[in-house]
Amino acid sequence: MSRHLQLGVLADHVLKVKSLDASALKHVDSCSHCRSDIRWLEQLGALREFEPPSSAVNGVIEAFKTRKLNAA
């Protein structure tokens, strides 16, 4: 079996920055180690994608309100 793919290469693949070449795909196909790496990278990407930006916005609004009240 060929060497495992580097995490950066797998991340590029998951993030669709750069696709894997044929031999890399073949390796992933037969390697549970690299497949599990891809899985958690995908979950990481999904988390980042679905992170609600509203929570950050609300935090800023709350901070703004608090400051306003304190100033009044």
Task: Tokens for 64, please give them.
Answer: 């703004």
Binding mask 25-64 for Zn ion (x = CB under 5 A): ------x-xx------------------------------
Enter the DSSP assignment of 51.
-
Any idea of the CA torsion for 54, 55, 58, 60, to the nearest 10 degrees? -110
Nearest residue (CB) to Zn ion, 18 versus 33: 33
Is position 10 an interface residue for Zn ion (rule: CB under 5 A)?
no
| Distance from C-alpha of 9 to C-alpha of 23, rounded to nearest angstrom | 13
Task: Tokens for 2, please give them.
Answer: 């060929």
Nearest residue (CB) to Zn ion, 6 versus 58: 6
Nearest residue (CB) to Zn ion, 30 versus 43: 30
Question: At its nearest, how many Å lie between Zn ion and the CB of residue 2?
Answer: 8
